[in-house]
Amino acid sequence: MEIVEVRADNVYISLKQPFTYTGVTLHHLPYVLITIKTKSGILGYGEASAAWDITGETQESVRGALRHAEKLLTGQAVDDIADVWGIMHSIAHAIAFNGAMKCAVETALLDIVGKARGRPVSDLFNRTRKNKVTVSALLPITRDLATVEDTIHRILQNGFTQVKIKAGIDFMHDKKVLKRIRKISSDIGITLDINQGWRQIDRAIDYCNALGEFDLLWIEQPIAADDFEGLKKIREHCPVKIMADESMHTLKDCRILCEMQAVDLVNIKLAKCGGLLSALAIADFCDAHEQAYVVGSMIESTLGMAANVHFASLVNYTITDFGSLSFLDQDYATGLHLRGNGIDVPDKAGLGIAMNSPNASNDKNSYRFFS
């Protein structure tokens, strides 16, 4: 199947409520929808989650990088996984970084191969495939403690056994949040995501030790992404496990963190590493070196999340961070179902989702998905 067209559209996906974590409050998701068309008329879709604070990408940079990648896509044959790998290898050599853009392109290519073969993306690989992936609930930074209590009660009623708490702006408030949660449930697993907010190593060590009473499963990215030595020192002096997220984009990052024994877990995200194929390589490395990992999310739409789910169904994750799916107000795709604490892996061809027809905005390059 020959690629004949590559299209990029800005999309703005509304959220049910503002989503706050250290340094950022999102009111909507400003992403890029990438569509690749073959000569036979098959359309493949991918989503570039432009997270400027994590991958350094914006809608504008994704579209700009894609203009260069388009030259390596148009006219190429995409009939199997080997073709996808070859195309992505060429793009990786031509364009540095830009993980979200590469992820979207690769997702669209895999969607095409799956549709052409009548098989789900996760069934294209010679690997054992789960039918359902286990999900952690998610609580953004929330100032109102009554809202925290209501949210935790709802999380428990929906069958979740684990919740990720966004934190890192106000340590004393974070402790109050944890106390409220533990008052409600002594059993639910709690992880704390600092998103680099504690900044200083000594402060992070003090905070980690001060949180021992809450029986946390792990603390995620307490300090700056590039401070691997700092993470290692914190791990050596902290009674709680430490996870790398913003520090861990590529297989190279994972190797370094593992060799240094800097963290207890890493967070694998498709938009950071460039797509499902690279993510599989990282997961295989982790398995071979007994490095625990979770499969993370950038708060994607159903389209972006579908790629995450197909990947997670193939690997030995500790948990997935896909609870953000419940924060979407309106979406431009359907086909994923959050049931209790899990998401069913789509079994239809390609990504296994259906794309909705968006309403065009005044910007000819944009679609808006606001209620």
**pLDDT level of residue 337 (50, 70, 90 thresholds):** confident
Summarised one tens digit per residue, pLDDT across range 273-317 is 999 999 999 999 999 999 999 999 999 999 999 999 999 999 999
pLDDT at position 370 is: 32
**pLDDT level of residue 358 (50, 70, 90 thresholds):** low
Q: What is the mean pLDDT of residues 105-112?
A: 98
Q: What is the mean pLDDT of residues 123-149?
A: 97
- Both tokens of residue 273? 């590493």
Q: Which CATH superfamily is domain 123-354 in?
A: Enolase-like C-terminal domain (3.20.20.120)
The domain spans of the chain are 3-119+358-369, 123-354
Summarised one tens digit per residue, pLDDT across range 82-99 is 999 999 999 999 999 999
Q: Which of 327, 369, 365 is nearest to 26 (CA)?
A: 327
Summarised one tens digit per residue, pLDDT across range 158-196 is 999 999 999 999 999 999 999 999 999 999 999 999 999
Q: What is the mean pLDDT of residues 110-123?
A: 98
Helix 228-237 to helix 251-260 angle (10° resolution) is 40
Q: Taken in order 69, 70, 71, 73, is the CA torsion positive or negative?
A: positive
**pTM beyond cutoff 0.85:** yes
CATH classification of 3-119+358-369, choosing from 3.30.2290.10, 3.30.390.10, 3.20.20.100, 3.40.50.1100?
3.30.390.10
pLDDT at position 369 is: 38
